[in-house]
Structure 1
């Protein structure tokens, strides 16, 4: 406990930066945040982080006071921090799975959200957070000093995501090479929109592989710095405390990953791709020409030319 109390200022600073980052990302992507379970969870996480930093600051400033008959001391910062660490450390996989099921069941994504779906999201959030708190008090040994050394689920989830990205890149290596070759002299940028023309091999797995290639390029092209950061953390085994690991940028990264995976799984044939509102403020996947243009090219040629449009 001495280590924690001696570093209260640095803990407050870290939590303050995290809370500010969470609120900034949510503010910039607000139009997408209220369209999915992941968005709802991001909002709830940012709100709880803000409440936490306010509580820590009040306790730190007043040091020793009483409220409603309870004697509050600086020890309670350690107590609350321990609870949040244990709660956050076990939420990565549950949130990832629930968000994936949400996208799978609601594809193609519709607008606006019905009152029923909003109620389901609110109920799901309540179940997730209450379950996490119950785990802390009734399953984990949160009074133990060793609880600060608890490994977060973030490590295992990050390894799985990076492994999937690596496998996709290896599997679609021919498509990546063809796409990169097509970039030369056949692309243009207008504002923040980049358009790359891709020579599509019509014999390549009935369009499934080219579709996966385009989705992978959009995802990796948008999140490449974050992918590199996660790789560095994994390779050098950098320890990040669990109350900082669960943050809105990390959840937005998982959100894009899940949307890309579900979008490809349920819409693998590029000739049948349909436009839909994607609840993601970072990646958008738009393909052209229209399916009719591709179908007209089928009888006469072994390849077709499509445009990959990346909108950051």
Structure 2
């Protein structure tokens, strides 16, 4: 669809502001501690450079720099390139974020000094490799072809913007997962209070290993879901509304942003905690996750005793 250049610049400016607000609002020491934090900072920097560059090109349209004659067509070209790169990065960022959450949580309390140091350093090369891979894919492997329109190069004031559906696909998976977790938690609660099928043993009886694991799993899922919804309910509601109102996608240059990464990091943390607890418990029966600055993931894992 066609969007005016001032609208593109305004949207990117608001996006940059939100990016840096989310980066600055994170707890000290957590910003660049994990992959999502490092990638979020790099995304904020890329968006800032992109916005300043597009603004300069728009203001200095028909100018010459280093022998290159820049026009407003270059604004359209860069915005389309950015949208394509952000769309390519959606699923890889989610996969790497999940792996980072899983490795960090499983290694709590047991990792050596060398392993902990490696976990702190690894996100930087992983982020660099991811950006480079996206660029290589876009320019050498994809079938992307820019659409610059038929207008005269000195009179173009609107850009054709590609829509990105990847973020909506990821959002749909997240909304479905949260809904399934709510159903599971509700059914588990009904089994707990049901007079026909008591969940806890009667006096003198003991729980089997399977029952203890089921109790612990139910408690962790309920606590993780409660913690996630306490912080991100408004974001989930907005995401669900976006899925209904914009089923075809959103402008590509807006599809990847730091608020989305922070929300995705919390969702992945909840998934990893629910899947790996109680095996990943640290001392005291608490599952604390240090890479999320917005949710307090100190969950008490029941033992069933």
Larger RCO, structures 1/2 (Cα 8 Å, 6+ apart): 2
What displacement does 1:141 show? 3.5
Q: Superposition RMSD on alpha carbons, in Å?
A: 3.0
Give ranges in structure 1 of 5+ residues lacking alignment: 180-199, 299-312
Distance 1:30 1:47, change over 3 A: farther
TM-score (norm 1): 0.77
Partner of 1:126: 128
Partner of 1:19: 16
- Give the conservation status (yes or no) of the 8 Å contact 1:90–1:152: no
Q: Answer yes or no: is 1:218 the counterpart of 2:227.
A: yes
**2: distance between equivalents of 1:286 and 1:115?**
23
What displacement does 1:152 show? 3.1
- Give the conservation status (yes or no) of the 8 Å contact 1:109–1:278: no
Deviation per CA, 1:83-130: give whole Å up to 9, x if none.
101000111110000011111122245799955334421211111111
SS at match of 2:69: strand
Give ranges in structure 2 of 5+ residues lacking alignment: 149-159, 193-198, 202-210
**By percentage of residues, which structure has more strand?**
1
Equivalent pairs, count: 270
Partner of 1:304: none
Partner of 1:236: 245
**2: distance between equivalents of 1:176 and 1:21?**
38
SS at match of 2:97: helix
What displacement does 1:210 show? 1.6
Partner of 2:155: none
Partner of 2:96: 98
Distance 1:50 1:38, change over 3 A: same
2:295 aligns with one of 283, 289, 305: 283
Distance 1:273 1:92, change over 3 A: farther
**1: distance between equivalents of 2:165 and 2:120?**
29
